[in-house]
Structure 1
Amino acid sequence: MENGRPAYETGRPSTYNGAVDKMKEMRKEPTEAEDLMWQQLRNKQVDGCKFRRQHAIDQFIVDFVCLSKMLIVEIDGGYHNKPEVKEADEQRTQILEDLGYKVIRFSNEEVIGNTASVIEQIGKSLRSRKDLSSNSNPTSPLGGDQRGAPFPADFIAEGVDQTRGWFFTLHALATMLFDSVAFKNIISNGLVLDKNGNKMSKRLGNAVDPFQTIEEHGSDPLRWYMITNAQPWDNLKFDLSGVDEVKRKFFGTLYNTYSFFALYANIDGFDGSEVEVPVAERSEIDRWIISLLNTLTQEVTDALENYEPTRAGRAIQNFVTENLSNWYVRLNRKRFWGGEMNRDKLAAYQTLYQALETVAMLAAPIAPFYADRLFTDLNKLSGRHSDESVHLAEFPAFDEAMIDKALEERMEYAQQISSMVLALRRKVNIKVRQPLQKIMLPVYDARFEAQIEAVKDLVLTEVNIKEIEYLKDASGVLVKKIKPNFKTLGPRYGKMMKAISKAFAGMSQEDIAKFEKENSFTLVLDGETVELNREDAEIISEDIPGMLVANEGRITVALDINLTPELKAEGIARELINRIQNLRKDSGFEVTDKIVVNIQKNGATDQSVDQHKEYIAAQTLAKEINLVDSCNRNDALSVELEDDVVLLLEIEKV
């Protein structure tokens, strides 16, 4: 049974009942040649194959057919020699062959005058055909075994300029010929315009040579840019600088992340064959990136299955640039370099390997060449996959058990708070290397405070702050202002916006604090109730003396920018570490080389060096940090710190 119909009912459903009556009439009055042929074909006399006579296939009634071999035998009278009839026969044959049938024709004279030869030719044709009796679907335009075959097509893609023609023509033809739609989904491609939104043309000189672009930037960056820059159905303002940006920010970042992994994996001899450290026993930041990796896999899978490649590409890109590289790798560098291979270090290697491998597999549909190289390079190390190419490997599946939404949330808080604090530092030109004392953070419920507390150490390290002070009641410390969001309120309360604006202006600090805590607020204006949610208002905090304040969503951060002598001394030590690291690199030292550092005494820095000598040595792989009266060597190096302080250094590899 196919779709509730017997397999032998191969006629078009919409016309089948009428065809049955016509077939019965035709069987009652066969021609002499048809009757003779039926006597030879009936009861499986030819090669044991069953034939049916006057049988409906799609829109036609054929003379004889063997459904198991999809072989049609037509007997033509003399009128078939007429040009118009011959043309119709050719069209009919073409349609039937497109359905997967083979059609052979004989004239009345051939059947009557040389029956044995005709039967021999039919036998040869039967023996050349595969037996499809168990799985044939002769109503499909693709013919043969069509269970699960791509008709109707899962999707097609065409330009928006074809929406009134090509798309509907396909459906019309499929409906008339096969009683089916032609495709299930459609991706309508927009136009590629120049960067100013004008149509490209040779006359205007604004056309871009695709081959030259591929030669200069590569096909994968070009493809990634076009997929992620705009939805396929939107017009794309093509800008070569955008392709270059994708190449640098995404592909460059992914390459640097892999290079970092490869560098230290080679040093430590990691090859992926080590016993896996259970995820539950890895550090929180490992479990976070694995959770996020599974969430990414889930999102990319959903996006691709719903024909949204732009969403998939953007999700992969954001994961690589913002989470894998800018957060996970950067915060875990110390776990990779220095020291012996211990359990924690092994977990870091295994986590980063898994992330890189999964990204390669997820990105493969959009960046086939780059992803394949990344996948094969990783697989050469571990040999985990027998597949020679990423395109032969199974697409990754997400593991629901590995997804920890609470962990993802608190790490997102950490990233958001860190970003806000770093922006405040830039506002007053205080570098991250200069430690500051504290940030104040208003908290509105116990869960939010607990989530922040869980990532507090990470935040303090990231933004170089000593402490976080939680404010249960910020009304006496922070002064806030509230403004209505006309975009959300206007469509709902258009005529009342003047009164709503006035009510916003009259809100007290306590009202604003309540609004922030509960994420909702109710106004009663002229007897009418106005329900506000958090998106209906913009709440900002004013700077207070000695502190800078920033708002983002429901999070407010106040940064203490006062510098004590102790903080300044630590800042100098960190600046010195940065200069020594740069000198190590410029001198061509290996990352594992130990050094001795001599620093010529300077009143502006000596106290800081004395206080933080061990810290400086640990960060620069220095066996000794010495303060000397003078640097006598000819190759002494001069470095400039903040506030125009210049130091002379001697660095020697030991």
Structure 2
Amino acid sequence: DVNGNKMSKRLGNGIDPFLAIEKYGSDPLRWYMITNSQPWDNLKFDVAGIEEVRRKFFGTLYNTYNFFALYANVDGFTFKEEKVADEARPELDRWVLSLLNSLIKDVTEAYETYEPTRAGRAISEFVTENLSNWYVRLSRKRFWGGEYDTDKVSAYQTLYTCLETVAKLAAPIAPFYMDQLYCDLNLVSGNESDTSIHLTSFPKYNEDAINKELEERMDIAQKVSSMILGLRRKEKLKVRQPLAKIIVPVLNANFRKQFEAVESIILTEVNVKEVEYLTDATGVIKKKIKANFKTLGPKYGKLMKAVSVLVNKMSQTEIAAFEQNGSFDAMIEGEPVTLALEDVEIHSEDIPGLQVASEGAITVALDINVTPELRLEGIAREFVNRIQNLRKDSNFEVTDKIILRIVRHPELNEALDKFGDYIGSQTLASRVDLVEELNDTQTGKLVEIEKGIETFIQVEKEIL
């Protein structure tokens, strides 16, 4: 059981499998048991784990399909267009397809070596971390509105391919759910003649589609974005509040090249205006370094204490060189020693007006100063969020145009005057009226924009 005790009638800690299947479904139960531990290992069975699997993996996959189906139905996408060539696809599409082919390769190897646990975990990570939390989130605006052009077709084809392939990869573990997903996709596209996923061929990876350099670049984007969002949470700065810049120490020419290739993605994701690159950060960002005894002990044994003293005495210049080179050479008690980055822990100190974060060799500093201009833009983004919620509460279709009426407020007027067009474009409002008050025939809703600052907003569906 969850406490590590053997299930038995005497202890009364057994689980009725049929009741568990009835409550949670057979596929979530099977997925939980297979991904939680290898089939030949003991399993600390916890029903809360089934619920987590159902929510995190199956729920995320369901929401991703729902997102695709919603906009595909609006645009009439049925995969009848000619397949967009790889070179014509945006980098984000090529990245997720590269990861998808890497996934096919890894999952195939795992199944063939009788390691279903490794296969299931790899599929889960791809769906939750890469497909839903990164690709779909960064591609949302490509599906919303706009022309039905090559870029939008590429987005639809890419997401369809990912969903269909994930269904085939996961079918051995979750046969019922994945068969339903496959049938729902294929019913519209007719891409496959097989009526069930269990009659189709298992996916084969395309080595030419795997681009490790592209995967590394996007990994930098994910790490840096996560670091900056963590700094925002620390400072209680909403992502909707734009910030001026991030400062990034340049490790080497290749790092800068990789970072610049994903710069726009990072800035969009964390809502920051620009990146400032530092070729020499020693006078700007101060770092602390200490030994990592977990790795030093097995490597250097009796020299570990002397190595620790050496690490603690490193100057800012030596720390910077260590990070850039990825290693540090020294002589200790007459013996040559080569330290790797994993042998130390490097932390950055915060600077007034900046928040600093480090992960491995990557360091980033976030300018947390909110200027009056940035605050106004932040207010406009808050309005967009509230209006989108009102659209949803009113059960409007995603394509419905609206007319907006917003009651003026001394704390909000400047932002509304300056960013009224932006608010209208983001909410599909053909007209944004700023009024002193709503008349008797107009029903509005009192909405809080900032703490203690409220105003009335009225959303009306435009009748064409």
After TM superposition, is the score higher than 0.5?
yes
Q: For 2:449, which of 641, 644, 647 is the aligned residue?
A: 641
Residue 364 of structure 2 corresponds to residue 557 of structure 1: yes
Partner residue in 2 for 1:651: 459
Unaligned segments of structure 2, at least 5 residues = none
Q: For 2:241, which of 434, 448, 461 is the aligned residue?
A: 434
Q: For 2:343, which of 514, 533, 536 is the aligned residue?
A: 536
Which TM-score applies when normalising by structure 2? Answer: 0.98
User: How far did residue 526 of structure 1 move?
Assistant: 2.0
- Answer whether contact 2:291 2:312 (CA < 8 A) is retained: no
| Alignment partners' CA distance in 1, 2:87 and 2:3 | 52
Q: For 1:415, which of 193, 201, 222 is the aligned residue?
A: 222
Q: Deviations over 1:217-252 (max 9, x none)?
A: 001101111111122233211111111010001000
Q: Deviations over 1:540-566 (max 9, x none)?
A: 111111111111111111111111001
| Alignment partners' CA distance in 1, 2:237 and 2:426 | 22
Residue 95 of structure 2 corresponds to residue 282 of structure 1: no
Partner residue in 2 for 1:567: 374
Partner residue in 1 for 2:3: 196
| Alignment partners' CA distance in 2, 1:531 and 1:540 | 21
| Alignment partners' CA distance in 1, 2:95 and 2:300 | 42
Map of 1:39-54 to 2, 5 A cutoff?
A: none
Q: Deviations over 1:502-527 (max 9, x none)?
A: 11111100111111011111222222
Report the structure number with the largest CA radius of gyration.
1
Residue 400 of structure 2 corresponds to residue 593 of structure 1: yes
How large is the Cα RMSD of the aligned pairs? Answer: 1.0
Unaligned segments of structure 1, at least 5 residues = 1-193
Q: Deviations over 1:49-75 (max 9, x none)?
A: xxxxxxxxxxxxxxxxxxxxxxxxxxx
| Alignment partners' CA distance in 2, 1:230 and 1:441 | 40
Letter in 1 for 2:165: T
| Alignment partners' CA distance in 2, 1:472 and 1:249 | 41
- The structure 1 segments of at least 4 consecutive aligned residues displaced by more than 3 Å after TM superposition are none
| Alignment partners' CA distance in 1, 2:384 and 2:236 | 20
Q: Secondary structure at the match of 1:631?
A: coil
Letter in 2 for 1:425: R
Partner residue in 2 for 1:581: 388
| Alignment partners' CA distance in 1, 2:2 and 2:89 | 47
- Paired residue total: 461
User: How far did residue 340 of structure 1 move?
Assistant: 3.2
Q: For 2:205, which of 391, 398, 417 is the aligned residue?
A: 398
| Alignment partners' CA distance in 1, 2:213 and 2:298 | 35
Letter in 2 for 1:246: V
Partner residue in 1 for 2:174: 367
Residue 38 of structure 2 corresponds to residue 207 of structure 1: no
Partner residue in 2 for 1:521: 328
Q: Secondary structure at the match of 1:426?
A: helix
Map of 1:217-228 to 2, 5 A cutoff?
A: 217-228=24-35
User: How far did residue 203 of structure 1 move?
Assistant: 2.1
Q: Deviations over 1:418-473 (max 9, x none)?
A: 01100111111111000111111111111110111011111100000011111111
Q: For 1:621, which of 408, 428, 445 is the aligned residue?
A: 428
Q: For 2:280, which of 464, 473, 481 is the aligned residue?
A: 473
| Alignment partners' CA distance in 2, 1:405 and 1:599 | 50
Letter in 1 for 2:281: A
| Alignment partners' CA distance in 1, 2:175 and 2:190 | 20
Residue 269 of structure 2 corresponds to residue 269 of structure 1: no
| Alignment partners' CA distance in 2, 1:453 and 1:364 | 39
Q: For 2:192, which of 385, 408, 412 is the aligned residue?
A: 385
The share of aligned pairs that are identical, in percent, is: 63
Q: For 2:163, which of 343, 353, 356 is the aligned residue?
A: 356
Cα 1:302–1:421 change in 2 (3 A) is: same
